[in-house]
Every structure is written in C-alpha cells, then in structure tokens.
Amino acid sequence: MDLDAAWTAFDSVAARDRGVRIVDQFAADPDRLSRLTVEAAGLTIDLSKQSWTREGMEAALGLAHGAEIEAARARLFGGEAVNFTEGRAVLHAALRARPGADYRALGEPVSREVKAVRKAMADYARAVRSGDEAGATGKPFRTVVHVGIGGSDLGPRLVWDALAPRTPDIEVRFVANIDRAEMDQTLTGLDPETTLVIVVSKTFTTQETLANAELARRWLAAALPVDGLDRHFIGVTAAPQLAERFACGRTFAFRDWVGGRYSLWSAVGLSCAIGLGPELFQRMLDGAADMDAHFRDAPLERNAPVLMAAAEIWNVNGLGRSARTVAPYAHRLRRLAAFLQQLEMESNGKRIRDDGSPVPRQTCPVVFGEPGTNGQHAFFQQLHQGPETVPADFVVVARDEEDRPQPALWANALAQAEALMMGKSLKAARDELIAAGHAPAEADRLAPHKTFPGNRPSTAILMERLTPETLGALIALYEHKVFVEGVIWRINSFDQWGVELGKAMARTILGEIESGQSRPHDPSTTALIDRLSE
C-alpha cells in the first residue's frame, strides 16, 4: 500500500473510531497491554492508554509502511542527504556509535574523525578536572560558563540538570538570552581566574551568542593578564576559523551534518563532559546508541519510536488534537519539556512537503509541559476538564539517585494518567455529593462542575533510575520519533528556515535604531520603534 492509500485507510478508521472509549479497549482487546508495551534501552514505554483501537493502531502503522520507514531509516543511518533542502546527511547517531562503527556522510567516512574529537574532548575534560589545564594565573578552573542558544544550549542544559552531582567539583552555568540580566546573574559570585568560558555556535555568527561571548570576554579581560587570557576561552563550532578569529584559545569542531538540536552528543556537550566527567558523558552516549540499535533493528510493530510517532499522528491527524503535554515526574528532568519544544516544533513545525507542495494536514502539535507534580497545580485543570483533548506523556523514574523509591511521585503520575482516561460521570459526581451530606438540589447544582469527560490519552515512559544511559536513551527515543513523523508527513525534520526571517528583520531594525535612520515599516512597528527609542 502506498502512502496515499494508507492515508485513505487511516482516515476511514479514524472517522469510525472517533467516539470509542480507551478504557473499553482493554476488554475488547485482551492482549492490548502486552502488545502496546515495549522495552527498549532501559525504558518501558506503555502506549495502551492511547486513543486507538487495534485497527486504529494498525492504520497508523500502515502510514509508516506506506512511507517506507525502513528505507528512510536506512538512508538516515547510511548518511544520505535526508536533509534535502540543504543537501546534508544527518548523523547524530554516528556521534554516539560504539567502537568499530563505520558511518559515512554522503559517502565520506566520518567515524574516525568522530573518534578523534571524542578523545580530544575526553583528554581536555580530564585535564581541566585534574587542574593540568589551568587559567592565566595558574589557578584550576572551578566553573564553566556555557554560552549558546537554541540547540547549542537546551541539550547541554538538560543533561547538566539531569545528571549533575549535588556538589560538583566543577560547576556548569549557562547563558543563552541576549538580555544582559542572564549574563549578569550567571557571572555573579564567580572568580575570573577560575572561570572557563565555552562559546558554542555552529556557524559562529549567531547574534545572541556572539553578543554574550563578547560580554564574557570583557569580564575576563578586566581581571586577567593578556598573556594567558585565551586559555579561558574555548570555541565549539562547525566554523573553527571564525572561532579562532574571535580569539578562542582552543577550538573543538563538529561538522555540518550535526544539526543544532541534535548536537549535544558532539563537542557541543564539552561543558557537560568537563562538569560530569568524560566517563559519565560516554555512558550517556552508550544509552543513546542502545536506542539507535533498537530503532534500527526492531520491527515497526515493536519499535518504540515508531509506535510513539504513530500515536502522535493518530492524535493529531486522526482526531484533530493540536497540542501535547510532557510531564516528567522527576525534578532532574525539569528541562525536558523545553528541550522537546525545540526538538519537535523546530524539526516538524513545517508546512511544505518534499516536492514543494503544501502539507495538506496538521504537522507537529504544540508541545509544552512542566515537571510533575508542579504541572498538576498549573495546567492539569485544562487537561482534565477543558473542551480540547490534550494527550500527555508521563515520564516516571522509579528510584532517585540515592536508590530511594519515590512512591509519592509514582502515585501522582499513575493517578493522573488513570484519571485522564477514566474521568467521572455526572451520576458518580452526584452520588459522591449526596454521600458527603449535600442536599439533592445542591448535588444537582454542583455535580456538572465535578464531572470529568475522561477518555483522554497518555503514554507512560518508565525507567528504574535516571542514569546517564537512560537519559541518553530517552533523548534518542524522541529524536527518532521526530524523524518517523517527518517521513510520514513528507517534510524535512532537519532544517529550520522558519527562524531566519525574524532574525534578519531584527538585524535590520537594530541597525536602524543604532544609526538613527529608520526605514518604512508597518504603522504599528514604526510606532513601537519610536516609543522604545524615546
């Protein structure tokens, strides 16, 4: 069945199954739980609370078959130009591959280069941690300030929050916002003599990153001797010559087949390799490599990224659901939703297909979230009783870093998922009010406000502990999910032209403000420029 025929079949099943209730499917489909629970790379993924019937799931998987996911997957791992608008391979899997791998980018061998950069990162991280690599005055580094934005910030920030020890030998701080307040806050309390600044920019032309890097350099230069200042300034980029021109004392390079939001596995993760130690960083790569192997080898019907993509497409295109929430019940994963916002919305927030024609359907939903249980006291009201159904991903960690069980977190995560699915009927709400002593008329008045429609889907992702391996696997799981969705929607998940127009216009407006020579704009923009320039 080709993709067009698969979409026709999908639409037919979705229209027929639109009103079915999730909870009823467990009785109608006795092996539903086992069929929709997958173990992969230390994660347990339970999709049994999704909205589909068995036929709906098969129709969604029919899209994967119709889109020839296996062939697309082979092109991805084979280093072909799957980023077809920029003519680039996409090989973040090569960055975390096991020894002996032989990845190629458009036919060019890259695994030896990856190995060399990984060794250089580890050697430098060890030297910084031991004090052999020291600052201009000979003092060892105690803090790394990581300067980046977007994919050069979100991934490393997520990793550091997730894995950092409570009392790190070397602290890592992050600066992304061009608002001077973030840099001021980050530098507060730091000693320039013991501070290492790592500037991360793929092109080394990113306006926000270079502005912040210049602020950091001035701060260092005001306190340190010129001789040795460059030891405090490291560049990570795919344009090393520009980093050297910026007076970075050392540069770690990565190639253009490393997309920004897929780059934390590369030298972009140097700050984390220093702060966590290269051995721990390597363990995270190993966990991601395990998920790569699962994605590459598992049949589609038992393939966790494929099933998660199929569930998303069932919700978005089958049932018209335009948002999804992510609720990690682990404080250390507090940046997961922010990371996934970029990974998913920048990758698949597209409207043009591979042949240049408009996408006839909704693509990526809006992704948002907060850690549980915080989110329960913020937006879960809307999830339970709002008019729009918003699917949820619940990420649950069984034991904390000290191997202590966390039953309060489990109970809340599992209860929220069950409540979203089960709901509460008008009769049940009224009966509860009567049992609590309310008069019948008062029970009739209040009961509608205490009903829950239920039938709201969720996916549960469980891990025994948040380790470097399970974190790597979790991130890679979502990376591959995004890829599968993009193939089915026939869009390019690896470019980001949508961020360019506003950036170009910002440069124009900034130049006008600085020169005092304004060009014509729309009336609103002109008035706002005038007001802010007063």
Choice among 119, 377, 388, 464 that is catalytic:
377
**Is 244 a known active-site residue?**
no
3-state secondary structure at position 37: strand
Cα–Cα distance between 343 and 476 in angstroms, integer? 11
What's the chain's Rg over C-alpha atoms?
25
Q: What is the DSSP letter of 465?
A: E
Cα–Cα distance between 225 and 515 in angstroms, integer? 35
> Is-contact 311 47, C-beta < 8 A?
yes
| C-alpha pair distances (Å), 436 with each of 378, 419, 431 | 27, 21, 9
> Is-contact 518 533, C-beta < 8 A?
no
Cα–Cα distance between 41 and 25 in angstroms, integer? 28
**Is 350 a known active-site residue?**
no
Cα–Cα distance between 146 and 175 in angstroms, integer? 6
Cα–Cα distance between 66 and 45 in angstroms, integer? 24
Cα–Cα distance between 89 and 177 in angstroms, integer? 30
Question: What is the separation of C-alpha 198 from the centre of its chain, rounded to a whole number of angstroms?
Answer: 22
3-state secondary structure at position 50: coil
Cα–Cα distance between 328 and 352 in angstroms, integer? 32
Four-point Cα dihedral 56, 61, 67, 68, nearest 10: -160
Length of the chain: 534
- Is the preceding omega at residue 209 within 30 degrees of 0, hence cis? no
Choice among 208, 346, 469, 479 that is catalytic:
346
> Is-contact 390 456, C-beta < 8 A?
yes
Choice among 108, 442, 500, 503 that is catalytic:
503
**Is 232 a known active-site residue?**
no
Question: What is the separation of C-alpha 158 from the centre of its chain, rounded to a whole number of angstroms?
Answer: 9
**Residues catalogued as catalytic:** 346, 377, 503
